[in-house]
Amino acid sequence: MSNQRKPHLLALSGSLRKDSWNRQLASAAAEMARAAGAEVTEIDLRDYPLPLFDEDVEATAIPEAAGKLKALFASADGLLIASPEYNGSVTAALKNLIDWVSRPDANFSRGVAFQNKRAALFATSPGGLGGMRGLNHLRDILQPMGVWISPTMLAVPSSFSAFADGALVDESSSAQLRALVEKTIAAIPALEERESATA
């Protein structure tokens, strides 16, 4: 086990807001994944500004940020996505990222950056549903692209009390998030299987 490459995951939030609870939730998941033995790259969508997806823009020049994101997603084994619920669905920023990253270009075929990824989906909101409606939409977007979604999706309600000083302090939600993260990592094929599948 020690001579095997660690699974590599990306952790991100669909929120652009600096103090977003979902960004804090993504960071908590990233720390849990590291504790479980994975390597994690945390992505801040503010660091990858993207125009609204437009095929005319794409035909002229693929945005530099889109190319960087495609490379990151293609290199990852799994995804940890905190998806805020906006009007019952995913955020425009997250959907736009998915649209750009899924597109083919000179280096990547269509959707290859998402294919065979293992993903944990979770959310938090001040309301009682915790963002579950948005998670259902995100699952419907990702599954057709070949992403394996953990059967359990976590929605953390009552964000005001679930977080304190930037940390997830609700013990029940923390335990559920840890179990979800560990289940997702366990679903990632061993290195030998991954190399065989791509040979």
* Per-residue pLDDT at 1: 41
* Per-residue pLDDT at 192: 44
Q: Where are the domains of the chain?
A: 8-198
Domain 8-198: homologous superfamily in CATH: Flavodoxin domain (3.40.50.360)
What is the per-residue pLDDT across 65-82, written as a single tens digit (0 to 9) for each? 999 999 999 999 999 999
CA angle, corner 120, sides to 38 and 116, nearest 5?
80
What is the per-residue pLDDT across 87-139, written as a single tens digit (0 to 9) for each? 999 999 999 999 999 998 877 878 789 999 999 999 999 998 889 999 999 99
Residue 15 has pLDDT above 80, yes or no: yes
| Closest CA relative to residue 26, chosen from 128, 126, 158, 166 | 166
Q: Which percentage of the chain shows pLDDT scores above 90?
A: 85
Q: Find out whether 133 and 89 touch, Cβ atoms under 8 Å.
A: yes
23 CB-near residues (< 8 Å, 6+ apart): 13, 15, 17, 44, 82
Q: Measured between alpha carbons, how far is 95 from 89 in angstroms, rounded to an integer?
A: 10
* Per-residue pLDDT at 71: 94
* Per-residue pLDDT at 193: 57
Q: Is the pTM of this model over 0.95?
A: no
- Which bin fits 104, alpha (ψ -120 to 50), beta or left (φ > 0)? beta
